[in-house]
Amino acid sequence: MKVLLSWLREFAPIDCSPTELAEQLSDLGLAVESMDRLGADLDGIVVAEVLALRPHPDADKVQLVEVDLGDGEALQIVCGAFNMAVGDRVPLATLGTTMPNGMRIERRKLRGELSNGMLCSATELGLGDDHSGILILPGTPSLGTPIPEALGIVDDVLYDLEVNPNRPDAMSVAGVARDVAARLGVPFTQLDPQVTTAGADLGGRASVSIHDADLCGRFLARVLDGVTVGESPAWLANRLTLLGMRPINSIVDISNYVMLELGQPNHTYDLAKVSGGHLGVRWARDGERIVTLDDVERTLTSGDGVIVDADDVAIGIAGVMGGASTEISDATTSVLLEMAWWQPMAIARSSARLGLRSEASMRFERGADPEVLELAARRFAQLAAEAGATLAPGTVVVDGDLPDRSPIAVRTRRVSDLLGSRFTGEQIRGLLEPIGFGFPGPADGADGTQQVAIPSYRFDSATETDVVEEVARMHGYSRLGSSMPPAARFGSLTPRQRDRRLLREVLVGLAVDEAMPMPFLAPVDLERTGLPGEAATLLNPLAVEESVLRTSLRPGLLRSLAYNASHRTTGVALFEIGKVWTPDPHGGMPAEREVLAVALAASAAGGIGDDAAARHAVRVLDTLVEALALHGITLEQVAPAGLHPTRSGDVLLDGVAVGAVGEVDPAVLAEWAIPERVAVVELDLDALLAAPHGERPYGKISRYPSSDIDLAFVVDDTVSAAAVEATIRAAGGDDLVRVALFDVFRGAQLGDGRRSLAFSLRLQATDRTLTDSEVGELRQRVIDAVAAAHDATLRS
């Protein structure tokens, strides 16, 4: 909402500086988004008339404009805008002018053509946001007139305010002035236009009926005769322009002016075109059609409201847009004026469904003021009278369902308790009376409660808490003081949050960088990752490439690896901890899980050989498991979907799959255009961290000497090293304190499909030095166990 200081001053004697006013507005909850001092810095900019327009012989983004400053001489300007026509009056910055943005206007040659000044847009003059073209001045101001004078904006200030949805009152100049006056302690005077009526009474010429009271709370109609539709006076057109509305004709402009000034949107009908002079209000019928003012035929539903004529034909969409059939034209002489209060929810639904958001619908959906209708109609008539129109005697007012505005009980103590400052009933009254809140009873009742009547222009305000907010607002948030909540308490992270931080720290220690890919995928992404299957989708995605909710973190990490590879970055290792979703087979909420995934490019593994990535992934997995002190994790090489069939496996926790590890299928890497091998680790954190972990009981360290023995077993390739190691550990018992695989060897002498696994074993007892025979016995026990369990032979 934009407001002009000069307009505010018509309601209250505001005498503070423009900057202080800006601060007060912000402190009142009307945040100032911008403040422009009009008329300042516009010396040298004058009214000029466009005499001729010619193309530039050597450039097509600019044209040559001949203008006259009133001295009869044609002055050539090179201009980049094309929105003006011969005869238009436009602002010209003459040579030597310094523009509001500091630019100095000099004579310049542009591609061989001289430019003797600059034609200005509204933005260049600091007069608003419209930079789509040169500002075409309304009316016919004299040539050579300084622009501030031509626009009637001498020494004014334009504020652009951000108005919250709970402040329908501040969607008007009067409402803003009321707030400011209260804050500054100066009187606020609402308009009271006096208009004399003449001619035939409205009765018998116009009538109103409300069929659906839940749509319309109040409908007021008046008639104006002797209307001539023409151009608005410059002062009025200028104010509209500055507040961001385009002047159209005298009647539409008055309509908009009254809306901006008093916050009451209104509509004008050509009385002659309204069948039977009757306006009826009802919900539309499904499929009912109407051609609106913008000449678009629209199909309505029972959620839209309509205004119908005596033949029950829709001639307007309630609160949203009027119909074309009764539109004001040059031939109009009598105007039927509508001032209505519509149910906010109805207008919100209707304007959203129709995609028609207008200045009017914005005000209706926040809740306009049902008590201002009569005043707004008089104000309309007063302004129209200046153009020769006369107000017909008689008014029709019909009420539907209006909101209950009975006074509410406000406990003084409650106000103090919520705000943390002591207020008396008198103080509350003193703060709220100036903004129109009524206090019908005594300030402090016996129980510390007083009745508060909320003004009709505060639709959103209806409860005790609403009043508390008003007290805080008018008192000033910054003056409410500052304290800390009283209770002693202890902050902490949950075990899950600590685990997540631990996993991140470990991965960072392993030189893996944390990535944050988008959780949205394209429909093909899962398939090209080798992870087909159902995925939840969005109803209203921004793009089809972002329409699927990921079921796995893998596609996002592969995309990131591909991105880095395409920028010739190698050695990339990434991880992510994030949510994935599986759709509910019965169509309900998708199931959400938290997953950890690591993707390691071979070049990040630091090893040689084509197995570097896969080996790296297993090391990373082992490190994470150790960091969590999690027991019962095993690998089962079963080729999970999308992974290399002979280089991947499930990660099992006590036999149940909780993740996967291994190389990505080369075909998948080709799909993603990743030029090197990649291995992944994926862990379902919900499952993994539900298991007991993190316990690290102390194990006594032996002070007796240890003995090391090496054993190499020849086993089939199908026998896993982990299985052999498990057998060794089981057979070794408590005195076997360390087992480490230190060599893997294949060779013709071992036979096809067999390999040698060499383990180093450390034997040590906690209570004595092991004897040679004890060591020998243990060694034999291990050899026998491995031979029996794995068809292994000892390699000598």
Window 151-210: residues binding another protein (CB under 8 A): 164-167
- Beta carbon of residue 183, minimum distance to another protein (angstroms, whole number): 12
x/- mask, another protein, residues 356-375, rule CB under 8 A, reads ---------xx---------
Give, in order, the Cα–Cα distances in Å from 160 to each of 4, 73, 148, 171, 366: 9, 40, 19, 11, 19
Under the binding rule (CB under 8 A), the answer on residue 718 touching another protein is no
Residue 33 CB, nearest approach to another protein (Å): 9
Rounded to an integer, what distance in angstroms lies between the CA atom of residue 628 and that of residue 464?
Answer: 53
Question: Using CB under 8 A, which residues numbered 24 to 53 contact another protein?
Answer: 26-29, 31
Tell me: does residue 676 bind another protein (CB under 8 A): no
Query: Which of the ranges 271-279, 559-567, 709-717, 741-749 carries the binding residues for another protein, by CB under 8 A?
Result: 559-567
Least spacing, CB of residue 171 vs another protein, in Å: 13
Contact between residue 37 and residue 153 where contact means Cβ atoms under 8 Å apart = no
CB of 164 to another protein, least distance (A): 3
Within 766-795, the residues that bind another protein by CB under 8 A are none
Cβ of residue 422: shortest distance to another protein, in angstroms?
11
Query: Are 316 and 361 a contacting pair, CB within 8 Å?
Result: no
Smallest distance, another protein to C-beta of residue 656, A: 23
Residue 573 interacts with another protein (CB under 8 A)? yes
Instruction: Tell the burial category of 71 from Cβ atoms under 10 Å away from its Cβ (0-12, 13-18, 19+).
Output: exposed
Per CB under 8 A, contacts with another protein among 459-498 are 463, 465-466, 468-469, 472-473, 477-478, 480-494, 497
Tell which residue, 153, 96, 150, 91, has the closest CA to residue 121. Answer: 91
Closest approach of Cβ 694 to another protein, in Å?
18
Span near another protein by CB under 8 A; candidates 7-15, 269-277, 416-424, 522-530: 416-424
Per CB under 8 A, the list member of 15, 155, 417, 784 interacting with another protein is 417
Beta carbon nearer to another protein, 29 or 148:
29
Cβ proximity of 582 and 593 under 8 Å: yes
User: Both tokens of residue 94?
Assistant: 């003459």
- Among 539, 549, 519, 536, which Cα is nearest to 586's? 536
The one-letter code for the residue type at 223 is V
Residue 420: CB minimum distance to another protein, A = 3
Nearest approach, Cβ of residue 590 and another protein (Å) = 6
Taking CB under 8 A as the criterion, which residues in 338-357 touch another protein? 344-345, 348-349, 352
Closer Cβ to another protein, 489 or 696, answer by number: 489
Query: Residue written as tokens 């979907």?
Result: 641
The residue (of 469 and 725) whose beta carbon lies closer to another protein is 469
Least distance (Å) between residue 72 CB and another protein:
45
Q: Which residues contact 236 (CB under 8 A, 6 or more apart)?
A: 247, 253, 254, 257, 383
Cβ proximity to another protein: between 18 and 590 the closer is 590
Name the DSSP letter for residue 177: H
> Tokens 């002055």 correspond to what residue?
75
User: Is the Cβ of residue 168 or residue 280 nearer to another protein in the bound state?
Assistant: 168
Angle at 381 between CA 380 and CA 386, to 5 degrees: 105
Residues in 57-86 that interact with another protein by CB under 8 A: none
Among 589, 656, 690, 722, binds another protein (CB under 8 A): 589
CA separation for the pair 313, 220 (Å, rounded)? 20
Of 424, 430, 464, 463, nearest to 444 by C-alpha is: 424
Q: Which amino acid is at 600?
A: L
What lies within 8 Å, CB to CB, of 221 at 6+ separation is 202, 206, 208, 279, 336, 337, 338, 339, 395, 396
Question: Is residue 168 within 8 Å of residue 366, measured between CB atoms?
Answer: yes
Count of alpha carbons within 13 angstroms of residue 272, beta-carbon side: 10
Q: φ, ψ for residue 700 (rounded to 5)?
A: -65, 140
Convert residues 498-537 into a mask of x (bound to another protein by CB under 8 A) and - (unbound).
Answer: ---x--x--xxxxxxxxxxxxxx---------------xx
Can you tell me which of 571, 607, 666, 675 binds another protein, judged by CB under 8 A?
571
Question: Please, what is the minimum distance in Å from the beta carbon of residue 207 to another protein?
Answer: 32
Chain position carrying tokens 């009307």? 30
Which parts of 107-146 interact with another protein (CB under 8 A)? none
CB of 556 to another protein, least distance (A): 8
Among 41, 231, 374, 546, binds another protein (CB under 8 A): 546
| Residue 599: how many other CB atoms lie within 10 Å | 28
Residue 513 Cα to chain centre, angstroms: 30
Number of residues that bind another protein (CB under 8 A): 94
| Dmax (CA) of the chain | 130
